[in-house]
C-alpha cells in the first residue's frame, strides 16, 4: 500500500522537547512565517495562542509519542509557495531563538531543515 511522504516530520530531539514543553504549557502548535530573522524559523506556541487565518496553510497535525493531542504545524501561505516542493524536518539546535517561541528559555531553538520531495 502506498503511503504519502509526510510534509513535516520531527527529529527525536524535537519530539523530546515537545514532550517537555507540553508538560509545562499544555497543547502546542507551530507557526512558520516568511518573516526576517527568527520569523523564518518555526515558532512554538500554546495551541490557539497564535491566530491563523486565510494567509496560513495547515501543513500537518504531528503525532508525538507521549503527547495526547496532535501538534499542528502552520505556515504562512507565501512561505509555503516557496517550500511546497520540500519535506520539512523540525529539529532542535543549541542557542537562543526568538523570545516568542516557548523553547527560548531552554537555551535551544527549533530549526526547520528541508529535503526536496522525492530526493
pLDDT of 99 reads 66
Domain residue limits, the chain: 8-74+90-116
pLDDT by residue for the chain (119 residues), tens only, comes to 444 667 899 999 999 999 999 999 999 999 997 665 545 689 999 999 999 999 999 999 999 999 999 999 999 998 888 888 889 999 999 987 666 899 988 899 999 998 887 65
Whole-number Cα distances in Å, 16 to 22, 62, 70, 96, 101:
10, 13, 14, 17, 16
**Residue in 103, 104, 52, 98 with CA at minimum distance from that of residue 75:** 52
Report helix, strand and coil shares of the chain as percent, to nearest 5: 25, 35, 40
pLDDT of 3 reads 45
Amino acid at each position: 500500500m502506498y503511503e504519502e511522504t509526510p510534509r513535516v516530520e520531527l527529529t527525536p530531539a524535537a519530539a523530546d522537547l515537545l514532550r517537555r514543553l507540553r508538560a509545562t504549557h499544555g497543547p502546542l502548535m507551530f507557526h512558520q512565517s516568511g518573516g526576517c530573522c527568527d520569523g523564518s524559523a518555526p515558532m512554538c506556541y500554546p495551541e490557539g495562542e497564535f491566530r491563523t487565518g486565510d494567509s496560513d496553510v495547515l501543513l500537518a497535525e504531528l503525532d508525538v509519542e507521549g503527547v495526547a493531542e496532535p501538534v499542528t504545524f502552520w505556515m504562512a501561505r507565501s512561505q509555503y509557495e516557496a517550500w511546497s516542493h520540500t519535506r520539512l524536518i523540525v529539529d532542535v539546535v543549541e542557542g537562543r531563538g526568538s523570545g516568542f517561541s516557548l523553547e527560548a528559555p531552554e537555551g535551544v531553538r527549533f530549526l526547520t531543515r528541508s529535503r526536496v520531495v522525492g530526493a
